[in-house]
Amino acid sequence: MSDRADNSVLNLAVGGIRALKAYEPGKPLAELEREYGITEAVKLASNENPLGMSALASQAIIESVQSASLYPDGNAYYLKQALSKHLSVDDVRIDIGQITVGNGSNELLEIIARSFVSQHEAVMYSQHAFAVYPLVTQAIGATHQMIAANHWGHDLDAMLDGITAQTKVIFIANPNNPTGTYLDSALLYAFIQKVRKDIIVVIDEAYHEYVSIDTYVSAMTWVAEFENLIVSRTFSKAYGLAGLRVGYCVSQNVVADVLNRVRQPFNVSVPAQAAAELALSDQGFIKRTVDLNAEGKSQLYSAFSDMGLNYIPSQGNFIAVDVQRNVNELNEALLKQGVIIRPIEAYQMPGYIRVSVGMESQNTQFLSALALVMSESECIV
Ligand SMILES: *Cc1c(COP(=O)(O)O)cnc(C)c1O
pLDDT in tens, 183-233: 999 999 999 999 999 999 999 999 999 999 999 999 999 999 999 999 999
β partners of residue 35: none
pLDDT value, residue 25: 77
Q: Is the C-beta atom of 224 inside 6 A of ligand 1?
A: no
pLDDT at position 21 is 83
Counting from 1 in the atom list of ligand 1, the atom nearest the Cα of 236 is 9
Q: Answer yes or no: is the C-beta of 247 below 6 A from any ligand 1 atom.
A: yes
For ligand 1, whether the C-beta of 317 sits within 6 Å is: no
- Contacting residues for 66 by C-beta, under 8 A, at least 6 apart: none
Task: Judge residue 196's burial from the number of C-beta atoms within 10 Å of its C-beta, 0-12 exposed, 13-18 middle, 19 or more buried.
Answer: exposed
Count of CA atoms in the C-beta half-sphere (13 A) of 23? 14
Nearest one of 232, 231, 282, 275 to 78, comparing CA atoms = 275
Phi, psi torsion values for 355, nearest 5 degrees: -120, 135
Does residue 1 register a pLDDT over 60?
A: no
Pocket test for ligand 1, best of 49, 108, 126, 132 (most atoms within 8 A of CB): 132
pLDDT of the residue at 19: 84
Q: How far is the CA of 173 from the centre of ligand 1 (A)?
A: 9
Q: Is the CB of 130 under 6 A from ligand 1?
A: yes
Distance between Cα 115 and ligand 1 center (Å):
19
Minimum-distance ligand 1 atom for the alpha carbon of 178 = 15
Q: What atom in ligand 1 is closest to the CA of residue 204?
A: 11
Q: What is the pTM assigned to this prediction?
A: 0.95
Q: Is the CB of 106 under 6 A from ligand 1?
A: yes
| Cα angle, residue 317 at apex, residues 316 and 320 outer, rounded to 5° | 80
Q: Which among 234, 359, 211, 213 is positioned nearest to 292, based on CA atoms?
A: 359
Q: Counting atoms of ligand 1 from 1, which one is nearest the CA of 245?
A: 9
Helix (H, G, I), strand (E, B) or coil at 210: helix
CB within 8 Å of 358: residues ≥ 6 apart? 42, 44, 50, 296, 366
Encode pLDDT of 301-359 as tens digits.
999 999 999 999 999 999 999 999 999 999 999 999 999 999 999 999 999 999 999 99
How far is residue 71's CA from residue 79's CA, in Å, rounded to a whole number? Answer: 15
* Nearest residue by C-alpha to atom 12 in ligand 1: 206
Kindly report the protein residue whose alpha carbon is nearest to atom 2 of ligand 1.
206
User: Is residue 5 very low, low, confident or very high in pLDDT (cuts 50, 70, 90)?
Assistant: low
CA 131, 132, 134, 139 torsion-angle sign:
positive
Burial of 246 (0-12, 13-18, 19+ CB in 10 A): buried
